[in-house]
Structure 1
Amino acid sequence: MRVEVAGPGDWAQWRDLRLQALRDTPLGFVETAETALAKDEAAWRRRMTEVPLSLLARSEGRPVAMVSGFLIADRPYLGAVFIAPAARGRGLLARLVEPVAVWAWAFAPVLLLEVHEANPRAITAYARLGFVDTGERRDYPLEPGGREIVMALRPAAS
């Protein structure tokens, strides 16, 4: 499996994997499948240009996982994380997070993410990689009363 930087030319593969992600794990994202389906090619290409770091993992040339790194108020975040069911359980999450962490630590000594409180599998997976609960909570915009946990990953002390 290869993890590669995705660019505007990868928009269709990104879109297809994103739609799969939204159907598989709707609480993992702050977008609905319906909203994503309504976007045209130009919007997908723009997304691939505007987001600072987008990675696709490919197996036999087909995309099986995705992740992004982006900034919110100069704070680096991990997002758009999805691994297709057939590719899970192979250590791919660590391979996706590592380059995003390296990118993030060029901006700040922490990489943040938000994960829905009702997604214990993801919370556990991130904790195994060293992410810790910051104690901060955010409202999940697609579910009244839903909350997201903010987790942080810092570089290992040398």
Structure 2
Amino acid sequence: MIAVRPVLPHEWPSYRDLRLQALQDSPDAFGSTFAVESQRSDENWATRIAAAHTSGNDRAFFAVNGDALCGMVWCKLSAAEPGVADIYQMWVDPAARGLGAGSALLKAALDWAASAAVRRVGLGVTLADSPAMRLYQAHGFQPVGAPQPLREGSSLMSQGMQRQLAV
């Protein structure tokens, strides 16, 4: 049974390890890279997680299968646009794929955004007929804007998507 819960400040090492695992497992799914993220200091990781937990502007979630962490997602309120949030770092461990972890993580992020009076949630996804794309579409996300390069030096494209939330 998959459960989803917020990442707690003292869990920054687990968050770091899962994030690095995600970047190694699915390098074409993220704008950042393992090479960049693995160079972050422990203090940076700890500060990011503590801020997400206390700021009210971010929330990071873990998916848990039994006692094992099996996924993650980050939702952040836009500083530039009130009522808007973005989803980042969505990933599910290959061993837990197909168990509903992706849907559970996405639901937790959307519920948190709704509780913060968000009207619109956006994300970027690598442009492909992929399980990630199908998951976002199944949860009401629609493409918006022209695809953009995933990151400098990559031939892959990222499609912006958004979903309206009921207020």
Task: Name structure 2 gaps, 5 residues minimum.
Answer: 53-57
1:114 has 2:124 as partner: yes
Report the count of equivalent residues: 157
Spell out, residue by residue over 1:128-149, the C-alpha distance to the aligned partner (whole angstroms, 9 max, x if none).
1221112343332243454211
Q: Give the TM-score normalised by the residue count of structure 2.
A: 0.83
Spell out, residue by residue over 1:73-94, the C-alpha distance to the aligned partner (whole angstroms, 9 max, x if none).
2330111101000101012211
SS in 2 for 1:48: helix
Match of 1:31?
32
Aligned Cα RMSD in Å? 2.0
SS in 2 for 1:53: strand
Match of 2:109?
100
Q: Give the TM-score normalised by the residue count of structure 1.
A: 0.88
Give the 5 Å matches for 1:1-158: 1-51=2-52, 52-72=58-78, 73-74=80-81, 75-105=84-114, 106-118=116-128, 120-155=130-165
SS in 2 for 1:135: coil
Spell out, residue by residue over 1:97-116, the C-alpha distance to the aligned partner (whole angstroms, 9 max, x if none).
11211222334311111011
Structure 1 position 49, deviation (Å): 2.4
| Alignment partners' CA distance in 2, 1:36 and 1:119 | 27
Paired amino acid for 1:87: A
